[in-house]
Amino acid sequence: MSSVEYLKGIGPAKAKMLARLDIFSVADLLHYYPRTYQDRRENAANNGLNPPSLTVFKGRVLRTQTVPARSVLIFKAFLADAANNQIECTWFKRRTFRSFRFDPFGTLKKDFKINAEIWVIGRKENRNNFFDNKITVEEYYPANAPETAYQTGRITPIYGLTEGLTNKQMRQYMHEALFSAEAQNEPDILPPALAQKRQLLASTQALKAIHFPASLAELENARARLAYEEFLLLATAWGVKRTQTKAIAKGYGYEIKKNLLTPFRKNLGFDFTPSQKKVINEIFADLQSPLPMNRLLQGDVGSGKTLVALSAMLLAAENGYQSAIMAPTEILAEQHFLTFQKILKKLKVPVAVLTSSTKTPERKKILAALADGSLSVVVGTHALIQDDVKFKNLKLAVIDEQHRFGVKQRAKLKEKTAKLDLLTMTATPIPRTLALAFYGDLAVSTITQLPPGRRPIATQMADEYRARHIVAEEVQKGRQAYIVYPLIEESENISAKAVSEEFEKLKEVFPQFKLAMLHGQMSRTEKESVMKDFAAHKTDILVATPVIEVGIDVPNATVMVIENAERFGLASLHQLRGRVGRGQYDSQCILVAQHKGSVARERLSIICQTCDGFKIGERDMQLRGPGEILGTRQSGELEFKAGDLFKDRNILQWAIEDRDELLKDDPLLQKPEHAPFKQRLLELYQKNWHLIDLS
């Protein structure tokens, strides 16, 4: 691939700037798609591409003048547009020492000769919500200049930039790239039958049209072609991985003996919901299959995913196998440990917790017990995937809150043993079509019901005074409350309240109640003590950071106050809200926001309108994007350049259907017509998804 440095107009200095955008070759540049577009055609229709203040016109120069000022120099050009309206165009330059020796407006004076025709792009001045005929100029192009053909007078691309680069330059570089040998020889990697079936543009057409479309229709056709290509590559990679997984027998099996499962269910004191039973049956069927399990378990906050996972881990223990559950935070790992310890102690199943905070003597004991097989169940964080952690007979791994782990971290756990059954769990439910894209090599199980007794949680926005009044009312009734802050200590860089500072103030606000503080920097012993006291109702109000987002279950807690709610994502707000509504009493969540930008307002409005985790998960993905929600950005998957998983759901569905057709016809992509597609799969995904072997 040719280095971008040698493209006309770039050179070594600009190449270094482009490298900050991950553009190293001409091919990288060609596939660096516009962030948005402007309609720079004359008399452009109001099609949503341009903001109201933007104006684009071709005019004839009537006169010019330079206006002296104290700190800036001002150049004005007066142009007549097609309707003979006079428009005043203005440029500003800061006074510098150089400006006393050289005329900073020399080029402008040369270009803006009387009667010259000029294209001008700028922002109209807004006076009392009325845009007048005065413009601050952003770009201009003489009508007869060669570059004008791709800089204006058309639908014009706007790119994401880095310091030192302008959109004017990027369009120039892209125009050069599109006429380079790389662009002319761009391989059309799509299987011909699929491209014809979906009536998609050829690759070279799509590349030209995504950068310099002749019309909005051509732009949409180009984007559809490129989005389809991205989706098909992703879906096929996962499909190949799924085929590979199914091709290898695990060489061990499970027998349902019920010597642990039966007493476990009896000791719970309640029955599983029909949805939980269905999911357990699906998981047990996978475990008893000769092929490794690779299943995603998704369910809303409080739907009982942990007990489902524990059922699978007990089946493993019944058969003499070890199991591990990996959680993203120490607080969640410790909560799982406390839950498991209480249940498994009665069943005489050994369990331990391993985190980065585990003391050296205890860590050595746990590592020895894992190595000799005497420890059946281990709960942990990333500490479980350290090189010195060895298992004797690990057969089942459970990954909780899987969206917080990258592909490589999950793979590291699977490397602990030759064959492994894997159950991943998420409380960020997503629609089935998207699940197929995100987790194409996983079977998907969904818990659709909440356990009996879970009550809807009334959610509202309120000021701090109102929130504290509600807390006092509930605690006086004998209930308990959470008050959550985003930070542990005050920060100069972030305008948000801190739990340590506010805790002292709240003790004065609620002198009649018992308060406790909980945050992630406390020791394990301190955290356990605080949580046990709150569960035993020795404290009334728990003041905490988001460490309580998952894993805490206190039926008597009926109020969740979230301070600086605008700083939390939708999934976090929903998780925090799920800490209440777990008992027989009506519960409520109060959102206290300090700054309400448009996105924050929308996010808070959504959480007030619904308790449906599927709707919330979908809206969260629309607002923040799938990579951020699902933790994939750390590993490079799902960073689609052309596709939008919500806008293009029909194209995604095409890709999934066509992937199945493609792999059914040619499972190993060995046909000559599929060679370019297979090669692109290798190039794009081998470096990120080292689990996928297409050789």
Neighbours of 197 (CB within 10 A): 13
Q: Where are the beta strands (DSSP E) in 400-492?
A: 421-426, 443-447, 457-461, 480-484
Q: From residue 2, give the alpha-carbon distance in Å to each of 7, 513, 683.
A: 9, 70, 16
If residue 138 lies in a helix (H) or strand (E), which one and from where to where?
strand 130-142
Most confident of 375-379, 570-574, 582-586: 375-379
Over range 205-224, report the average pLDDT: 95
pLDDT value at residue 516? 95
- In sign, the C-alpha dihedral spanning 600, 606, 609, 613 is negative
Rounded to whole angstroms, the Cα distance separating 644 from 441 reads: 21
pLDDT value at residue 236? 87
Instruction: Record the tokens describing residue 406, joined without a space.
Output: 């990258």
- pLDDT for residue 99 is more than 60: no
Rounded to whole angstroms, the Cα distance separating 283 from 287 reads: 6
Q: From residue 563, give the alpha-carbon distance in Å to each of 427, 494, 546, 606.
A: 22, 14, 11, 17
pLDDT value at residue 690? 46
Q: How many helices (H) and strands (E) does the chain have?
A: 26, 20
pLDDT value at residue 410? 64
Rounded to whole angstroms, the Cα distance separating 211 from 580 reads: 51
pLDDT bracket for residue 626 (50, 70, 90): low
pLDDT value at residue 693? 45
pLDDT value at residue 433? 54
Full 3-state SS string of 8-70: CCCHHHHHHHHHCCCCCEHHHHHCCCCCEEEECCCCCCCCCCCCCCEEEEEEEEEEEEEEECC
Q: How many residues make up the chain in this entry?
A: 695
Provide the b/e sequence for 554-577 (b: ≥16 CB within 10 Å): bebbbbbbbbbbbbbebbbbbbbb
Over range 227-253, report the average pLDDT: 83
pLDDT value at residue 616? 80
Contact 482, 560 (CB under 8 A): yes
What digits encode the pLDDT tens for the residues 278-303? 999 999 999 999 988 988 898 887 78
Contact 323, 397 (CB under 8 A): yes
pLDDT value at residue 488? 66
Provide the b/e sequence for 615-636 (b: ≥16 CB within 10 Å): ebbbbbbbeebbbebbbbeebb
What digits encode the pLDDT tens for the residues 405-458? 555 666 677 777 778 898 988 876 665 555 655 556 678 888 888 777 677 899
- CB neighbour list of residue 130: distance below 8 Å, 6 or more residues apart: none
Contact 123, 55 (CB under 8 A): yes
Check residues 566 and 487 and name the one with the higher pLDDT.
566
**Furthest-apart CA atoms within the chain: distance in Å:** 96
Predicted TM-score of the model (pTM): 0.70
What digits encode the pLDDT tens for the residues 557-570? 999 999 999 888 88
Instruction: Record the tokens describing residue 308, joined without a space.
Output: 């489902």
Q: With pLDDT > 70 as the criterion, what percentage of the chain qualifies?
A: 87
- What is the average pLDDT value for the chain, to the nearest integer? 85
Locate tokens 């095409």: which residue?
A: 654
Lowest mean pLDDT among 170-174, 503-507, 545-549, 659-663: 545-549
Contact 308, 339 (CB under 8 A): no
pLDDT value at residue 161? 92
What digits encode the pLDDT tens for the residues 450-481? 777 677 899 999 999 999 999 999 999 999 99
